[in-house]
Amino acid sequence: MKPVATHVVDRRMAIGAGIAAATGLAWPRHQAMRRVIIQRGIAGGGVVQYDGGAASFSLFASSLAFEEGETGGAERVFVGTVTWADETVGETLVCTRVTNYENLNSEVGEARRIEGLMRAGDGGEYPFVMDVLNLDAPGAGTDTVTLMVGASAAFGEAATPVAETEFNYFAQGTIVSGDVQDIDLAIDVDTGDVSDPDAAP
């Protein structure tokens, strides 16, 4: 991931703090009172050019861990949304549930995986796996996205919830406009301080 300007980092922190605060409202009281929220996520959007077509997309996915300070315990919750509109094949896919977000530990760039369920138009819900590889600055034309929905995701190596699998969609291409960006933050719920999660006490 390339270095970013200070004003971009501040914007990340503001976004992350708002997300964490909103998510905390949905947690039971004893969980919301925990001291530090570790938020690791990705957000972005644009146009992906794949062999034979193109699709517009927007995404946000996050893993939030509520640290318990001295106990060292943590629980995670996954939140997010993905929309993928492929005008080439006339298909719009909308995420209905995010069940996993993880770092793929790529040797090059920053690779992330989002898993969950997607709805295809007015049809049923299907498992999906989206892999995002961030290699360079916005506009460089090197970042890639792979989206597998239905049979492609259900029988791949990534585990997703059981769902209907008669539907199948696969696309892999380069982000030709737009960008994706990591948003990793540690938020102290007592003070409101936002910092690097790897430096959180």
**Short-list 180, 108, 182, 179, CA closest to 139:** 179
Q: Domain ranges in the chain?
A: 6-199
Q: Is the pTM of this model over 0.85?
A: no
C-alpha–C-alpha distance, residues 16 and 11, integer Å: 8
Q: Per-residue confidence of the chain (201 residues) as pLDDT tens digits?
A: 333 333 334 545 455 555 555 445 444 444 445 478 888 999 999 999 999 999 999 999 999 887 654 444 557 899 999 999 999 999 999 999 999 999 888 777 789 999 999 999 888 889 999 999 988 766 666 799 999 999 888 655 444 444 446 789 999 999 999 999 888 888 888 888 888 887 645
Total count of residues recorded for the chain: 201
Coil, strand or helix: which one is 65?
Answer: strand
Q: Which pair of structure tokens corresponds to residue 16?
A: 């992350």
Coil, strand or helix: which one is 24?
Answer: helix
